Amino acid sequence: MLSLFSLQLWSWMCPSLTILYSAEFWGDIAKDFFWKTKHTGQFLDYNFDVTKGEIFVKCMGGASTNICYNLLDRNVHEKKLGDKVAFYWLGNEPGDEMMVTYRELLQRVCQFANVLKSQGVKKGDCVSIYMPMVVELVIAMLACARIGAIHSIVFAGFSAESLCERILDSQCSLLITADGFYRGDKLINLKLLADEALRKCREKGFPVEKCIMLKHLSKETEETALGSQSPPAKRSCPDLQVPWNPDVDLCWHTLLLGASDECEPEWCESEDPLFILYTSGSTGKPKGVLHTVSGYMLYTATTFKLVFDYQPEDIYWCTADIGWITGHSYITYGPLANGATSVLFEGLPTYPDVSRMWEIVDKYHVTKFYTAPTAIRLLMKYGSEPVQKYKRESLKVLGTVGEPINPEAWLWYYNVVGEKRCPIVDTFWQTETGGHVLTPLPAATPMKPGSATFPFFGVVPAILNESGEELEGPSEGYLVFKQPWPGVMRTVYGNYQRFETTYFKKFPGYYVTGDGCRRDKDGYYWITGRIDDMLNVSGHLLSTAEVESALVEHESVAEAAVVGRPHPVKGESLYCFVTLSEGVMYNHTLEAQLKKQVREKIGAIATPDYIQNAPGLPKTRSGKIMRRVLRKIACNERDLGDISTLADASVVEQLFQNRCTTAV
């Protein structure tokens, strides 16, 4: 791994050579995959400069392959991994468990691919999937990939309204869903929501003709699909409502009866679409980020292998939901491409108690663990005792993704969870990048808590100032990328113009991430948060993440979110929301301490103007703090815009009522 790090450094220092070197590097990796026909011409062809014509990225043009074939058939037949476990599935209820091998997964995917074909789904058609974290979700996505259909997975935590919006945008011909599921104690009547979404679609003139429903909670034991079975649900669910519309609805299990478990894959061109995944945009309307077959396959497979230092005996666990890009790339595609064994977990880190994660780690001997800073901070609130109840001896690498990780949470993860044994990989990337773009390589890259360190192979970052000039050496500004890598998005589905405008217009010649970034004297990259989260206090740029991290370093603070509030003299003042640790009371002494702490940590310029005790923060269902909503609260503006992605809207009212009106 050490030599990999010198390569990582080298590729960063010699950007002009990286596109050449990149073709060599990826070309070698491509040899390990199955290609029906070989690529012709350049390995990676692209234009990143709007002034020179249309933006495009083309990887391995002329080649044809099938990603599902590479993930399953090749592992079963060529690599003899048929009996290897692909997933250990763990349900919301402890004890609700099953496993599926590579051979079983292949058979079940083929069966379901035949079902989709029998329902008229063809290559290039779009299929929406709205399912909980069950093996059948992986089966549904891979069945689409096998027949060349484009999957559009909508996170099962989204509302009917959001599902409707995504169905309309993707113009899908079919929806796959489930009856319902539990998140902790809470029952989600998913079919009810799916039906509401379909009703809204119909009202808007877009009737979706077919909806396949998996019986997850209401499953009867005699309904047998081939291979391993999910056990019948352990809890009875009297409140489960499963409305049924015989004109539209089809039962997953019934359709499988008699479906063959052999299905010839559809050979796809490299640049054929693989999937769309919606991500929020600054305008409010979600963008359908489009990824294509070959580049995405190579990129997720390789980043998974190197960033987690994948070894065949690993038990890997990514706690994300497949409804987000992390789950697409690092639960389904990357791990399966490597023949890895993963844990697929339906539940929550806090149910039935806050030790659940570590209990699972011990039970399955998890070696590589990948989660989000928000989960780490949540668990940190309960101290180290729930962690230390379990041994965690199997752990080797710990990963984090989703937002800047404050050094305090990083250190807790490193010291308490990993007991100083496990390198932390702080992976910076986006739905748009397909896979990791800035990341350490474990045990090779010297770590700095809170820094995503260096670019992955073939990735060439730059930091620009407001006028678009590249900054050298230690600097802070806009994070951009100068050239593509195989896994970068190709367009916004159905809206090429928006693709160009969002990512390539502001600074011609560069892909603009929308994140702020600092490079230190050692060349390490530090994501400072979204550019739109930057604050300008008396002409000084401040990142919200920086202030939050200083607040969270106080032992009484579990989580903090900082937004700008317009100020007549300074431009913006700092309005801080703090969630306190279990059992801590909010008072003036604490407030004064916090103020002092931030001042001491960053400087007088960063002194908080307002501090509000926030028992809860408005978060998206993926755990991101909605700073946009906090900014409105800080200014007492009730017009909140679209808050459909909020996990718990009641938090907002509570915060409005306890607003700070006088500066501290």
Chain positions contacting ligand WT7, by CB under 6 A: 279, 325-326, 401-404, 426-431, 452, 513-515, 527, 530
- Could you tell me the sign of the dihedral formed by the alpha carbons of 483, 488, 490, 494, in that order? negative
Q: How far apart are CB 117 and ligand WT7 at their closest, in Å?
A: 32
Closer to ligand WT7 at the Cβ: 136 or 403?
403
**In whole angstroms, what is the distance from residue 652 CA to residue 618 CA?**
6
* Residue 480 CB, nearest approach to ligand WT7 (Å): 12
Tell me the C-alpha distance between 379 and 350, whole Å. 8
Contact 62, 69 (CB under 8 A): no
d(CA 15, CA 367): 34
CB 282 → ligand WT7: shortest distance, Å?
A: 12
In the complex, what is the shortest distance from the CB of residue 452 to ligand WT7, in angstroms, rounded to a whole number? 5
Q: What one-letter code names the amino acid at 126?
A: C
Q: And the tokens for 602? A: 């960053």
Indicate the residue among 332 and 513 with the shorter CB distance to ligand WT7: 513
- Per DSSP, the three-state class of 649 is coil
Name which of 142 and 277 has its Cβ closer to ligand WT7: 277
d(CA 82, CA 89): 17
CB-based contact 197:160 (threshold 8 Å):
yes
C-alpha to C-alpha distance for 339 and 326, rounded to whole angstroms: 18
**Rounded Cα–Cα distance for residues 233 and 93 (Å):** 9
Question: At its nearest, how many Å lie between ligand WT7 and the CB of residue 295?
Answer: 17
| b/e sequence 625-655, b meaning 16+ C-beta within 10 Å | bbbbbbbbbbeeeeebeeeebbbeeebbeeb
Nearest distance from C-beta of residue 397 to ligand WT7, angstroms: 15
Q: How far is the CB of 402 from ligand WT7 (least distance, A)?
A: 5
Decide whether 43 or 524 has the Cβ nearer to ligand WT7.
524
Residue 159 or 394 with smaller CB distance to ligand WT7 = 159
- Least gap, CB of 489 to ligand WT7 (angstroms): 10
Nearest to ligand WT7 of 138, 452 (CB atom): 452
Residues 55, 45 contacting (CB under 8 angstroms):
no
Strands (E), 179-246: 181-183, 186-188, 210-214
Pick 366 or 527: Cβ nearer ligand WT7: 527
| Burial (CB count <10 Å: 0-12, 13-18, 19+), residue 131 | buried
Count Cβ atoms within 10 A of the Cβ of residue 461 and give its class: 0-12 exposed, 13-18 middle, 19 or more buried. buried
- Distance, in Å, from the CA atom of 125 to the CA atom of 150, rounded to the nearest integer, reads 6
362-382 as b/e: b if 16+ CB within 10 A: bebebbbbbbbbbbbbbbbbb
> How far, in Å, CA of 561 to CA of 611, rounded?
10
**Closer residue to ligand WT7, CB minimum distance, 207 or 523:** 523
**524 secondary structure, DSSP code:** -
Cβ at position 461, least distance to ligand WT7 in Å: 13
Nearer to ligand WT7, 103 or 530 (CB): 530
Q: Minimum Å distance from CB 539 to ligand WT7? A: 24
CB of 430 to ligand WT7, least distance (A): 4
Whether omega before 352 lies within 30 degrees of 0, making that bond cis, reads yes
Shorter beta-carbon distance to ligand WT7: residue 148 or 516: 516
Nearer to ligand WT7, 35 or 345 (CB): 345
Q: How far is the CB of 265 from ligand WT7 (least distance, A)?
A: 28
Closer CB to ligand WT7, 216 or 530, in the complex: 530
User: Rounded to the nearest whole angstrom, what is the least distance from the CB of residue 186 to ligand WT7 in the complex?
Assistant: 23
The DSSP bridge partners found for residue 577 are: 561, 612
The nearer residue to ligand WT7, 230 or 431, going by C-beta atoms, is 431
What per-residue string of b and e applies to 266-291 under the rule 16 or more CB within 10 Å gives b?
bbbbbbbbbbbbbebeeeeebbbbbb
